[in-house]
Amino acid sequence: MEKQYLFSGFGGQGILFAGKFLAYKGLIEGNEVSWLPSYGPEMRGGTASCSVVISDKAVASPIVAKPDVLIAMNLPSLDRFENSVRSGGYIFADSSLIERKVKRDDVNVYYVPATKLASDNGIPTLANMILMGKVLSVFGEFDDQNATSALKKVVSAKHADMLDVNLGALKIGADYKD
């Protein structure tokens, strides 16, 4: 069983961080994983994206051309990747920044006003993790302990105080009902 994720948004929204968290969580849970960022000038203010593959066997290719799951944090990302999602796949959209609806009807869609929830909760930089919390809960993969272990891998030691804040963001997303 292999699941391919594509995260996309503006540079600075924590796209790569969220992907890294998911990859670590997959690793902790005994899976094979890969994480591949977009790189170059687009990292600097433009669109950032990253592909994460989580598989119970060796990851054949780290390049995600047809994601099972698209997490779009801005409109250009949805415009660009909506049609690439596998039929029957999932799209999670930050509805505070994406005003339009997903056009396809053969995918499962979740709208989460992540950026608004983040600023309402005083954690404006953590819309990424709120959206991630929703992703985990939809797949029934939210697990406090593994999430905490994964966060410990991606939150640097000097920002250890951010561990709980990140966990809180995941929970806000997990609990969100549209």
Partner 1 sequence: MSEKVLMKGNEAIAEAAIIAGCRHYFGYPITPQTEIAAYMAKKMPKIGGTFLQAESEIAAINMVYGVSSAGKRVMTSSSSPGISLKGEGISYLAGADLPAFIVNVQRGGPGLGGIQPSQSDYFQSTRGGGHGDYHMIVLAPASVQEMAELTVKGFDLADKYRMTAMILADGTLGQMMEPVSLDIKVSPEPEKPWATNGTKMQREHNIVNSLSLVPDELEQLNIERFKKYAVVEQNEAMYEEYKCDDAEIVVTAFGIAARVAMHAIDRAREEGIKVGLIRPITLWPFPKAPFEKYADKAKCFLSVELSMGQMIEDVKLATKCKKPVYLCNRVGGIIPTPDEVLDFIRKLNQGGAL
Q: How far is the CB of 84 from partner 1 (least distance, A)?
A: 10
Quickly list DSSP for the chain: -EEEEEEEEETTS-HHHHHHHHHHHHHHTT-EEEEEE--SGGGSSSEEEEEEEEESS--S-S--SS-SEEEE-SHHHHHHHGGGSPTT-EEEEETTT--SPP--SSSEEEEE-HHHHHHHTT-TT-HHHHHHHHHHHHTT---HHHHHHHHHHHS-GGGTTHHHHHHHHHHHHHH---
**What is the total count of residues that contact partner 1 (CB under 8 A)?**
20
Nearer Cβ to partner 1 (35/110): 35
Window 43-82: contact mask with partner 1 (x via CB under 8 A): ----------------xxxxx-xx----------------
Candidates 5, 7, 17, 24; binder of partner 1 (CB under 8 A) is 24
- Residue matched to tokens 């995260």: 7
Question: Which stretch in 32-40, 105-113, 117-125, 130-138 sits in contact with partner 1 by CB under 8 A?
Answer: 32-40
Q: How far is the CB of 154 from partner 1 (least distance, A)?
A: 9
Q: How far is the CB of 56 from partner 1 (least distance, A)?
A: 14
Is residue 36 close enough to count as binding partner 1 by CB under 8 A? Answer: yes
Question: Which stretch in 36-44, 93-101, 119-127, 162-170 sits in contact with partner 1 by CB under 8 A?
Answer: 36-44
The pair phi, psi for residue 5, each rounded to 5°, is -110, 145
Is residue 176 close enough to count as binding partner 1 by CB under 8 A? Answer: no
Candidates 6, 15, 18, 33; binder of partner 1 (CB under 8 A) is 33
Is residue 153 close enough to count as binding partner 1 by CB under 8 A? Answer: yes
Task: Assess contact for 22 and 166: CB atoms under 8 A.
Answer: no
Residues of this chain that bind partner 1 (CB under 8 A)? 20, 23-24, 27, 32-37, 39-40, 59-63, 65-66, 153
